[in-house]
């Protein structure tokens, strides 16, 4: 039964990535619950911006696609930790440290991928994200 002996090895190979995805999904649904607690409505109800939540060293969603001209609003829904937003292309200065419940807006005009990170946590917690801007 060679297939049976292969299976555990395949599961081992697959599980770290799957576990990370599941963690991010769980963290992001918790983040959305926090948002509703704090602001009394779902983040999707915001009409003048696309919302990215900052929570437990994650950006939620970590990858976002928007049309050029869209404003993205990062909202810190953590209880204690402060975060920042820094575009890797250096076209904007790093945002102020956002304390819980604080926000920062950036409007994306130029099409293309924009990688960004959290200044204090990208290195130690891999707190990074990407906005893809479509024409
Ligand atoms: Cu951070």
CA atoms of 111 and 15, how far apart (whole Å): 35
pLDDT in tens, 90-107: 999 999 999 999 999 999
CA of 40 to the centre of ligand 1 (A): 24
- pLDDT tens across 65-76, in order? 999 999 999 999
If pLDDT is split at 50, 70 and 90, which confidence band does 17 have? low
Q: What is the pLDDT of residues 112-135, one digit of tens each?
A: 999 999 999 999 999 999 999 999
For residue 122, report the distance from its CA to the centre of ligand 1, in Å: 7
CATH code for 2-134? 2.60.40.420
Q: In the chain, what are the domain boundaries?
A: 2-134
Cα of 83 to ligand 1 centre, how many Å?
Answer: 4
Q: Could you tell me the distance, in angstroms and rounded to a whole number, from the CA of residue 82 to the centre of ligand 1?
A: 6
**Which of 23 and 19 is assigned the larger pLDDT?**
23
pLDDT digits (tens, 9 = 90+) for 37-53: 999 999 999 999 999 99
pLDDT of 22: 76
Nearest-angstrom CA–CA distance, 36 and 101: 12
Q: In the structure, what pLDDT confidence band is assigned to residue 7 with cuts at 50, 70 and 90?
A: low
* Closest C-alpha among 36, 65, 31 to residue 50: 65
Q: Is the pLDDT of residue 8 over 60?
A: no
What is the strand order of the sheet 58-60 is part of? 58-60, 50-55, 70-76, 103-108
Residue 6 has pLDDT above 90, yes or no: no
The C-alpha atoms of residue 99 and residue 96 are separated, in whole angstroms, by: 9
**pTM (2 d.p.):** 0.85
State residue 34 phi and psi, 5-degree precision: -60, -45
CA of 5 to the centre of ligand 1 (A): 42
Residue 1 has pLDDT above 50, yes or no: no
Cα 97 to averaged position of ligand 1 atoms, centre (Å): 9
């Amino acid at each position: 039964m060679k297939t049976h002996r292969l299976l555990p090895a395949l599961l081992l190979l697959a599980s770290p990535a799957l576990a990370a995805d599941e963690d991010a999904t769980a963290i992001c649904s918790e983040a959305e619950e926090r948002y509703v607690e704090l602001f009394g409505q779902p983040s999707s109800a915001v009409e003048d911006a696309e919302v990215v939540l900052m929570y437990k060293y994650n950006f939620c969603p970590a990858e976002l696609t928007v049309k050029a001209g869209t404003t993205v609003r990062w909202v810190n829904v953590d209880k204690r930790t402060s975060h920042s937003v820094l575009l890797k292309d250096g076209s904007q200065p790093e945002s102020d440290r956002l304390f819980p419940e604080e926000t920062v807006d950036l409007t994306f005009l130029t099409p293309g991928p924009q990688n960004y990170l959290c200044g204090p946590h990208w290195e130690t917690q891999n707190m990074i994200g990407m906005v893809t801007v479509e024409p």
